[in-house]
Amino acid sequence: MTGAPFLRVLGRALRFRWAVLLAVLVPAAVVGILAVEQRTDRTTAVAVVGVAPESADVLSTDAVQLALGRYSVALTSPEVLTQVAAETGIALDVLDAAVEVSASQEAGNLSVRATLPSTDDALLVARAVAEQTVTLGQEDPLADASVLAGARTEAPGLLSGTRSLQALLVLAALVAGLVVAYALEAVRPRARTGGDAADAAGGPVLGSLPAFTSTWPRRAVAPDSEILASARSLRSGFLASGAGSPAGPVLVVGVERGAGASTVAFLLARTLVDRGESTLVLDLDLEHAGLSATMGTPSRFALHDALTESTPLAEAVHSEGGVAVLTTEPMSGFDDLVDHRLPDLLKRGADRYEVVLCDSGPLGAGELSEVVAAHAASAVVVVRAGTSTATIERTAARLRRLGVPVRGVVLNHATRAQAEAPGLRETGRGD
């Protein structure tokens, strides 16, 4: 979400993307730790050789610098390393990788480093190479060389220790996991709060419903009192939103299948009936007929019969807990029938009932759900907490294209506190 505060996005990434964090952290940390455990410990030995002019007659800084350059190249040449290999019994290719010579122009000396798994071998090689420098100096008419500091082991760096390096790798893996989790939360945001859902759908939050059941860390069922309290709060939000919405049938649509549109439609209708509002719910999810299947359809063709007027609307509806429900079975190939007869059916429903709710399947381009949605006066969008905001925005865009304003948003599988919390791009609580 563009413009979202860094700390709030990071907090959400830690709370909701922890599985991504672990998916990056654990394999990277394990691979790094095992790699460090399997590496061979190495010791670096250092000997320092001084270089000076052969005599005062050739005293010159340039002469010393030239000598340092010559010796640096010579000491790592195959000829010298072959001699060292013969003296130490260490293979030439091992020496070639182990020996490093660096020159200090200011001090006029050479540092000979030998890095090998064995401390004794490292000291032996550093000493042998330093002695080769002295030999080269004896043959050089312009400069002389002498060992200033015998071979000694170099103190290991902070990250040379196994535990220190492993800790650094774990920290790097943690940072990588945080970066990935943060990037996903920022680039592919999800509706975590009512503010998020409202911002994506373009309508106010009417209320929320809790998760009716949960399975982790233990199976639990939401108390009936909590469900009813949420449903009544939803009713209040729905009625309050009526002043700014056009009169007529209200589409209840989930942004994706399983969002809970059928549950919201029925609970809202049930609480409206408790308040004295006569309410009709039409199962217009013509592909799955989820509400009808849940209730147990008393008449498989109730919607079809009502559309064709082969059965009067009063006889076609089924009463469920005081709510009038027009049930159906999945219908395919009836696009023209629905498109031509649904407006009249909705008008008959509006003449008989104070509130008409149309339970619909998720909107899909060119699908029957859009044919149904086009005849609604307004829409209530049902969003399951954690849904991608891009999915919500697609539903809102299709409703706008059909000319159906969003009356409000219901956040499902969420607490009231979540529904009332602002979105990432809003200011207020949670900054």
Tens digits of residue pLDDT in 105-130: 777 788 999 988 888 998 999 999 98
Burial (CB count <10 Å: 0-12, 13-18, 19+), residue 67:
buried
Q: What CA dihedral angle connects 5, 6, 11 and 14, to 10 degrees?
A: 140
Q: What residue type is assigned to position 111 of the chain?
A: S
- The tally of domains found in the chain comes to 3
In a domain, 374, yes or no: yes
Residues 265 and 410 in one domain: yes
Residues 122 and 197 in one domain: no
Pairing mode of beta strands 109-116, 99-104: antiparallel
Tens digits of residue pLDDT in 179-203: 999 999 888 999 999 999 999 999 9
Tens digits of residue pLDDT in 20-50: 999 999 998 888 888 877 666 778 899 998 8
Q: Is the pLDDT of residue 159 over 60?
A: no
CA 341 to chain centre: 46
CA angle 306, 308, 314 (to 5 degrees): 25
Range of the domain at 23: 6-39+159-185
CATH of residue 215? 3.40.50.300
Residues 138 and 275 in one domain: no
CATH of residue 150? 3.30.70.1130
Rounded Cα distance, 362 and 367, in Å: 9
Residues 163 and 262 in one domain: no
In a domain, 350, yes or no: yes
Lookup: tokens for 416: 């009231």
In this prediction, residues 9-30 reach a mean pLDDT of: 90
Residues 168 and 138 in one domain: no
Residues 177 and 69 in one domain: no
In a domain, 431, yes or no: no
Residues 264 and 371 in one domain: yes
Residues 298 and 179 in one domain: no
Q: What is the pTM of this model?
A: 0.70
**Among candidates 319, 257, 316, 312, which has minimal Cα distance to 289?**
257
Residues 144 and 27 in one domain: no
Rounded Cα distance, 410 and 395, in Å: 14
Residues 198 and 52 in one domain: no
Helix-then-strand count for the chain, H and E: 17, 14
In a domain, 429, yes or no: no
Q: What residue type is assigned to position 215 of the chain?
A: T
In a domain, 426, yes or no: no
Residues 54 and 28 in one domain: no
pLDDT attached to residue 336: 87
In a domain, 415, yes or no: yes
In a domain, 428, yes or no: no
**Among candidates 263, 322, 270, which has minimal Cα distance to 290?**
263
Torsions phi, psi of 384, nearest 5?
A: -80, 130
Residues 138 and 82 in one domain: yes
Q: Is the pLDDT of residue 158 over 70?
A: no
In a domain, 229, yes or no: yes
Pairing mode of beta strands 205-209, 406-412: parallel
